[in-house]
């Protein structure tokens, strides 16, 4: 029966769960899959989430289905390892999320009115999450902000939490002043350890500036990365026309080509 399910192209979720079970079978499973645990799989989970975001950023809709499948498989992998330890099953994972969504959307699944804005829903969502944290004895304002989040995202979440209890600069001007202050402290760093600390402080304040300006810093940095990649490709192409590579060039020449790439982008509008 399991072989029939595994080779059924329309087997859906039960098929994927069965494939995972077979991969982890102690007698006939895959040696690599059997060696894995939560800690070794976690980096792949993060990577797959970023690949989903990348496909969306590029509007690569043909790829998105596969990337979402890869991410789903990560959940199945973790849930199966948990079931092996008697912790919980994949169905319990799904039920937990369903319960959470129902509880957090009383305006959809309960008696609460739907006549409210998206901003009000965000406020209500945070109130519900705060109540959930209190039920878990997470009484500190910053409790529950996951340590495993990317550092920039965690900085935003920590700052948002602190801002909700009034620990925040009143306007962007004060944040800009703090950026200048942290830049000055970085310039005056006395050694590598001090520079490391001051650089972290500067990044933290830059995340706060993004929050005040309502800019997604991850999206902004991804856009900057894409721009850098695009313009450097222009430099490589221009050098290739001369029969050269970047290693055959110098900073002055490549900087001039960089300016040419900027001008070409502006000309395109």
Taking the CB of residue 240, how many other CB atoms lie within 10 A of it?
11
2-103 and 140-215 in the same fold: yes
Is the pLDDT at 121 greater than 80? The verdict is: no
Q: Which CATH superfamily is domain 140-215 in?
A: MazG-like (1.10.287.1080)
Q: Tens of pLDDT along 172-203?
A: 999 999 999 999 999 999 999 999 999 999 99
Is the pLDDT at 1 greater than 70? The verdict is: no
Q: Tens of pLDDT along 140-149?
A: 888 888 887 8
The pLDDT value given to residue 147:
86
Q: Tens of pLDDT along 75-102?
A: 999 999 999 999 999 999 999 999 999 9
Q: What is the CATH number of domain 2-103?
A: 1.10.287.1080
CA distance 33 to 21: 10
Mean pLDDT for 114-134 is: 75
The pLDDT value given to residue 114:
78
- Dihedral (C-alpha) 39, 42, 43, 49: value to the nearest 10 degrees? 180
The pLDDT-based confidence of 206 (bands split at 50, 70, 90) is very high
Give how far Cα 209 sits from Cα of 119, 155, 215, 216, 239, Å.
21, 11, 8, 10, 38
**Does the predicted model carry a pTM greater than 0.75?**
no
Q: Tens of pLDDT along 26-67?
A: 999 999 999 999 999 999 998 999 899 889 988 999 999 999
The pLDDT value given to residue 51:
94
Average pLDDT of the residues of the chain: 91
The pLDDT value given to residue 138:
64
Domain boundaries, the chain: 2-103, 110-139, 140-215, 218-268
Residues 257/235, Cβ–Cβ less than 8 Å: yes
């Amino acid at each position: 029966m399991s072989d029939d399910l595994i080779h059924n192209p329309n087997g859906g979720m039960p098929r994927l769960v069965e494939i995972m079970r077979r991969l982890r079978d102690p007698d006939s499973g895959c040696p690599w899959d059997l060696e894995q645990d939560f800690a070794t799989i976690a980096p792949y989970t993060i990577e797959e989430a970023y690949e989903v975001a990348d496909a969306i950023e590029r509007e690569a809709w043909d790829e998105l289905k596969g990337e979402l499948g890869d991410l789903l498989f990560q959940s199945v992998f973790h849930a199966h390892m948990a079931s092996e330890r008697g912790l919980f099953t994949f169905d319990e994972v799904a039920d937990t999320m369903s319960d959470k969504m129902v509880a957090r959307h009383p305006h959809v699944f309960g008696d609460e009115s739907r006549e409210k804005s998206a901003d009000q829903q965000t406020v209500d969502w945070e109130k519900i999450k705060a109540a959930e944290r209190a039920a878990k004895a997470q009484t500190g304002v910053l409790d529950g902000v996951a340590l495993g989040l990317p550092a920039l995202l965690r900085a935003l979440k920590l700052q948002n939490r602190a801002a909700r209890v009034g620990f925040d600069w009143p306007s962007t001007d004060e944040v800009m002043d703090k950026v200048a202050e942290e830049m000055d402290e970085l310039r005056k760093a006395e050694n590598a350890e001090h520079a490391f600390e001051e650089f972290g402080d500067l990044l933290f304040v830059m995340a706060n500036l993004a929050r005040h300006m309502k800019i997604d810093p991850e999206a902004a940095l991804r856009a900057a990365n894409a721009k850098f990649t695009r313009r450097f490709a222009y430099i490589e192409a221009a050098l290739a026309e001369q029969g050269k590579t970047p290693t055959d060039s110098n900073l002055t020449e490549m900087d001039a080509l960089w300016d040419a790439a900027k001008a070409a982008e502006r000309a395109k509008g």
